[in-house]
Amino acid sequence: MIEEPHSGDEAANTDDSSWNFDSPRVVKVKTLHISSPILAARSPFFYKLFSNGMRESEQRQVTLRINASEEAALMELLNFMYSNTLTTDTAPALLDVLMAADKFEVASCMRYCSRQLRNLPMTPESALLYLELPSSVLMAEAVQPLTDAAEQFLAARYKDITKFQEEVMKLPLAGVEAILSSDDLQVASEDTVYDFVLKWTRAHYPQFEERREILGSRLGRCIRFPFMSCRKLRKVLACNDFDHEFASKLVLEALFYKAEAPHRQRNQAAEESSSPSRRFVERSYKYRPVKVVDFELPRQQCVVYLDLKREECANLFPSGRVYSQAFHLGGQGFFLSAHCNMDQQSSFHCFGLFLGMQEKGSVAFAVDYEFAARTKPGEEYVSKYKGNYTFTGGKAVGYRNLFAIPWPSFIAEDSPYFINGMLHLRAELTIRN
């Protein structure tokens, strides 16, 4: 039986005053000759239907009621149950068959549709459709490869969320989750992710309670708090958009992570790599995270730790540079920058490290600084360069050849400065009285 909803206009033209406006009307009755063993073998739905409808009598017919919009998809589904193939190959039609296969519990057809849809060109619109498919157990299992492909498509297309911010701001929750869950997100720092999440949730969920719910159950888990700056973590605790208990737990977890030794951090990241949140897995930030230890007495001082992977250093050749996140001393923002540059005599490439002041201002800061690096075989920090400089803002100072060796020796497999593929740098800054 093919049904369609009855419209109010059509009811107004009838003489039947008892017509139920909410009930559909039958527009077509179609009789199909089928093999009940074949359908029952392919679908638990049809197995139950035939068992209940024919068990207690000699009846050889059962009635299936569907909406008019489902007719074409159902006919394709029945055809598939006999032939293991479909005649349709367009995304909308395949989606209709997929939904019918979910309704009538034909898992093999769902997997077939999912595979066919993955082979079609993906668009932002189709990717969002796949992410918002009904979340039945059968559906989730059958279309997991399709939803994975949709998430990867969106993450790759919008990995630079700063460049596509207007477009990403218009995406629904499922699309934003897919983008922010990616390790390949191109952002200046995790602080940028936090700011974007707040902006998006405030635009899409103006109701305070709804916003708190979404941040606590969904989007808050996409932010990798351990890689946010301590300054921004303080703002998390003061932000009413987050439930206070939820925010406190995340900030405390982030601070404990920052205090861990590097090898323990790597172990946590490895354990978390299979988790959907991946909160201890570091992205490739434009500004590299640092660990900072501050002292107020006897003088204002901070010790900054910057770790760079070997491949990050290799990518600096021949003239690249990488910047750290900002850190603060005496109320002023500073940063470290690692360079591949030519030595003073321009005879070979080498590794350089520089210290810069972030804000331009009239206040002059006289700073003593020391650069050090972990070095084999002892793997202790060894001082490489000391200096002092009076910063007035917007300036940088450092050493062009920190290790006093050419670039090939620095980056070589037997280099004494890479420990388990990681370069460990330390900068100690002290304000001179």
> Mean pLDDT for each consecutive 10-residue tract of the chain (433 residues)?
57 40 70 86 88 58 84 94 92 93 93 94 93 78 90 94 93 95 91 96 96 95 91 92 94 88 77 75 87 88 94 94 90 92 88 88 83 95 94 84 95 95 96 82
Rounded Cα distance, 301 and 403, in Å = 24
Region of residue 394 (phi > 0: left; psi between -120 and 50: alpha; otherwise: beta)? left
Can you give the pTM of this predicted structure? 0.74
Q: For residue 15, what pLDDT is reported?
A: 41
Residue 222 DSSP code = G
Closest CA to 31 of 74, 61, 67: 61
DSSP secondary structure string, 350-408? EEEEEEEE-S--S--EEEEEEEEEEETTTTEEEEEEEEEEEE-SS-EEEES-TTSS-HH
Q: For residue 16, what pLDDT is reported?
A: 40
Q: For residue 20, what pLDDT is reported?
A: 44
Rounded Cα distance, 410 and 418, in Å = 9
- Half-sphere exposure of 323 toward its Cβ, with a 13 Å CA cutoff? 14
Beta strands 301-309 and 422-431 are antiparallel
3-state SS assignment for residue 204: helix
Rounded Cα distance, 122 and 133, in Å = 16
Closest CA to 24 of 74, 61, 69, 76: 69
Contacts of 222 by beta carbon, 8 Å cutoff, 6+ apart:
176, 177, 180, 181, 193, 197, 277
Q: Does residue 342 contact residue 350 with C-beta atoms inside 8 Å?
A: yes
Closest CA to 307 of 278, 332, 338, 350: 338
Instruction: Give, in degrees to the nearest 5, the angle at Cα 243 between 242 and 244.
Output: 105
Q: For residue 346, what pLDDT is reported?
A: 76
Rounded Cα distance, 30 and 2, in Å = 8
Residues forming beta bridges with residue 386, ordered by sequence position: 370
Beta strands 2-5 and 66-67 are parallel
Q: For residue 363, what pLDDT is reported?
A: 73
Cβ atoms < 10 Å from Cβ of 163? 11
Closest CA to 219 of 253, 252, 243: 243
